[in-house]
Structure 1
Amino acid sequence: MIRRRSTPWIHRWSRPLIAAIAGCGALTTGYLTIEKLTGNSAACVAQAGVKGCNDVLSSAWATVFGQPLALFGFLAYTSMVVLALAPLAVNREQNKQPRSNLENLTWLLLLAGAIAMSVFSGYLMYLLAFQIKATCPYCIGSALFSLSLLVLTIIGRTWEDIGQIFFTAIIVGMVTLISTLGVYAGVNQSDVTPGTSGQPTKITFTSKGDPNPAFGWEVTTTSGEAEIALARHLAKVGAKEYSAYWCPHCHEQKLLFGKEAEEIINNDVKVECAADGLKAQIELCKAAKIEGFPTWMINGKNYSGVQNLEELAKVSGYTGPRNFKYFK
C-alpha cells in the first residue's frame, strides 16, 4: 500500500498567514496615511529631544510624488492580501486547472512583491538609522512585516526550480533599488516657486546636507514688513514655537518668515527641543508634551505642523499688514 505524502502544514497555511501579515501592514500604513493627510500626529511615545515617529513622518523621505509614502505601502500590502487569497476563492474540485494556474501566477507575483518590499524596507531602515536618525516602531514593524512575507513566500510552497527564486530576487531587487535611489535623488534640494505678480511665493523645502546644531540650515528667504511685524506680534503675545534644528518642516517655517523675521522668532519665540541643539530647553518641551515639530502654542492652544503666516496672524489676533511674501 502506497501512502500519500502529507502536505506540510506551512504549505497549507502559508497563504492565510501571508494575508494576515499583509493585512496588519495595510492597517498600519493606512493609519499613517490618514494621519499624514489630515495633518495629525501619529500615536507614538516619544521623548523630548529624541526623534520619533512624527519626525520621520515629517521628514523629506516621507513624501513620494507629492503623496505620503505610507499610501504606497498601504497599496503594496493590500495587493499582497489580494494575491494571497485570490486562489482560495476558486473551487478546487470544479476548477482544478484554472486554480492551479492562478496559484502558480500569484506565487510568482507574491515572490516579486515580497522581494521588492523587503529591499525598499531595507533602504528605509538605512535612512532611519543613518539619515533621519530616529526611532519609529511603525517603520520597524513594517520592515518586519515585509521580511516575514518574503520568508513565508519562499517556504510556503515547494519551488521546483530554486534558481527561479534567486533569478527573481536579483532582477526585482536591482530594479527596486535603482528605482528607489532614483525616486529619492531629488531629496537634497530646496525649491522656491515664484508666484504671479503681486501674489505670494510658494515655499517647499527638503533637507540639503547636514543641519548645523546652532541654526539648522541657512535661511535663504528675506522678510518683508508684514513678516517682521507678525514676528514682533507673536513675541509680544507670548507665543511659542517648539522646534528642533534638524527638522526639515521647522526650516520650512523659517523660510516662510524670512531671515530678518526669523531672527526675532529665534530670539523671543522659539523653544529648541533637540538635546544637542543650541540653547536646548528640554524640560520646557517635556512639560508642553510636544509630539512633533514644529508645534506652535498660541493663546493656550497648540497648532501642529508648518503654519502659513496668514493662519498665525489669525489665531494670534494680529492686526498689522498681511502682504506676506510666502506660503506653503
Structure 2
Amino acid sequence: MAKQRRARAPVRSATVDAPEARRVAVAPEWIVVALAAFGLLLTGYLTAVAWWGTSPALCTEGSGCDLVQHSRWSTLLGLPMALWGFGLYLLIGLVALQRNGRLRRWRRLWTLSLVGVLISLYLTVAGLAALDAVCVWCLLSFATLVAIFVVVVLRRPSSAPGTPWQRWLIHHAIVLLPFVGVLHAWQSGLLEPPENPRLQALAIHLEQSGAKFYGAFWCPNCQSQKDEFGASANRLPYVECSPNGRNGGVAFECSSAAVTAFPTWDIRGQRFTSVLSPEELARHSRFAWNAPRWTASGDEAPR
C-alpha cells in the first residue's frame, strides 16, 4: 500500500500544476508594435511643431493642412491633438508587447484601436464640415490606426472576444458613441460657460454702432476672434465672406467693401485687419469697458 501511495504522488502533483503549465508566454504582436512606433514618430513630430509654433512640412500657408493645424480642432483641453494621439499610440504599443494573456491583450488592442479610428474619423469629418479642408498628416495617422485595427481583427484568437459578439459590440457602443458626442460638443463650443455680461454688452454695442466683422468660416484667426467673446460670439456683427465654400466666390458684401484679408473689422470709419482684443474693440467703438455695469443694449462712454 505504501508503494502504491508513493507511485500516485507524482500523478497528483502533475494535475495540480497543469494550469500553470498551460500559461505559456506568447510572442508580442510585432506588426502592431511596428505600426504603433510609426504612429509615435508621426504624432511626436506633429506635437513638436505645434509647441514650436511652426507648420509641419507640406503644410504651406493657406493650404488645407495649414487650416486644420491652426484650427480649434487641432487642440483638446489646451493640448495639441497630436499629443493625445501620441499617448494612444504609446498605450497600443505597450499592450502589444505584453506576453501573457493573449485574449486579454487582444481585447485591449481591439478597444484602443477602435477608439483611435473613431476619433480620427470624427476629426476628419469635422475638418471637412467646418473648414472644408483636410490635413495630409491627419489622414496618415488615420490610415495608421485603421491598419492597426485591421491587423488586430485579422489576428483574433479563436476564443475572442470572450463574450457574445452582440453584447461585446453593444457595450462598446454604449461607451464610445456618447464619448464622441461629448468630444463634438466640447470642440464645437457647445459646452462653453454662460455669457459674460461685459462681453455680451460689447457685442451688442458693436452691432448697434454699425461695426462690421468680415471673416470666413475656414479662417483660424476669425475663429480666434470669436473665441474672445465665448458664448457671446453669435451676437457679433459677423459677415461670412465665403458662403459657397473655401474655394467658392467671395460674398458681394465683402467684395463691395474691398475686403482682402480675414478677419477685417470696420469700426467708425476705421479698418483693422487683425484679431482685436475686447479692450481694443471697446476703445475703437467707444464702449464703456470699465463701467461698473452693462445693460442689455450696451453703454457708450461719453464722447
Letter in 2 for 1:15: E
Letter in 1 for 2:120: S
Shift of 1:151: 1.0
Shift of 1:248: 5.1
Check the 8 A contact 1:115/1:173 in 2, yes or no. Answer: no
Q: Name the structure 1 match of 2:6.
A: none
Q: Give the SS at the match of 1:134.
A: coil
Aligned residue pair count:
243
| Deviations 1:136-189 (CA, angstroms, capped at 9, x unpaired) | 111211111111111111223x51225548354442244122111012224244
| Deviations 1:234-279 (CA, angstroms, capped at 9, x unpaired) | xxxxxxxx97443253143367699xxx99xx9xxx9xx9543337
Pair 1:23 & 2:21 matched: no
Q: Give the SS at the match of 2:30.
A: helix
Shift of 1:80: 0.8
Unaligned runs of 5+ in 1: 1-10, 88-98, 203-218, 229-241, 282-289, 296-304, 312-320
Pair 1:246 & 2:218 matched: yes
Unaligned runs of 5+ in 2: 1-25, 256-260, 265-273, 281-285, 291-303
User: Please, which of 38, 47, 50 is the counterpart of residue 33 of structure 1?
Assistant: 47
| Deviations 1:75-116 (CA, angstroms, capped at 9, x unpaired) | 10111111112x3xxxxxxxxxxx433x44322211111122
Q: Name the structure 1 match of 2:283.
A: none
Q: Distance in 2 between matches of 1:79 and 1:115?
A: 13
Shift of 1:126: 2.4
Letter in 2 for 1:220: A
Check the 8 A contact 2:130/2:218 in 1, yes or no. Answer: no
User: Please, which of 159, 162, 172 is the counterpart of residue 161 of structure 1?
Assistant: 159
Q: Distance in 1 between matches of 2:203 and 2:277?
A: 17
Counterpart mapping for 1:262-301 below 5 A? 274-276=246-248, 277-278=250-251
TM-score by length of 1: 0.54
Letter in 2 for 1:79: L
Judging changes above 3 Å, is the alpha-carbon distance between structure 1 residues 104 and 123 closer, same or farther for their aligned structure 2 residues? same
Which has the bigger relative contact order, CA under 8 A and spacing at least 6?
Answer: 1
Check the 8 A contact 2:30/2:96 in 1, yes or no. Answer: yes
Aligned-residue RMSD, C-alpha: 5.1
Q: Give the SS at the match of 1:41.
A: coil
Q: Name the structure 1 match of 2:203.
A: 220
Shift of 1:32: 2.4
Q: Give the SS at the match of 2:29.
A: helix
Report % sequence identity: 26
Letter in 2 for 1:246: W
Counterpart mapping for 1:52-131 below 5 A? 52-85=64-97, 87=98, 99-101=99-101, 103-131=102-130
Q: Distance in 2 between matches of 1:137 and 1:45?
A: 8
Q: Distance in 2 between matches of 1:127 and 1:109?
A: 27
Judging changes above 3 Å, is the alpha-carbon distance between structure 1 residues 182 and 159 closer, same or farther for their aligned structure 2 residues? same
TM-score by length of 2: 0.57
Q: Distance in 2 between matches of 1:68 and 1:193?
A: 26
Check the 8 A contact 1:115/1:172 in 2, yes or no. Answer: no
Check the 8 A contact 1:120/1:176 in 2, yes or no. Answer: no
Q: Name the structure 1 match of 2:294.
A: none
Judging changes above 3 Å, is the alpha-carbon distance between structure 1 residues 162 and 16 closer, same or farther for their aligned structure 2 residues? closer
Pair 1:175 & 2:175 matched: yes
Q: Name the structure 1 match of 2:140.
A: 141
Task: Name the larger-Rg structure.
Answer: 2
Judging changes above 3 Å, is the alpha-carbon distance between structure 1 residues 111 and 124 closer, same or farther for their aligned structure 2 residues? same
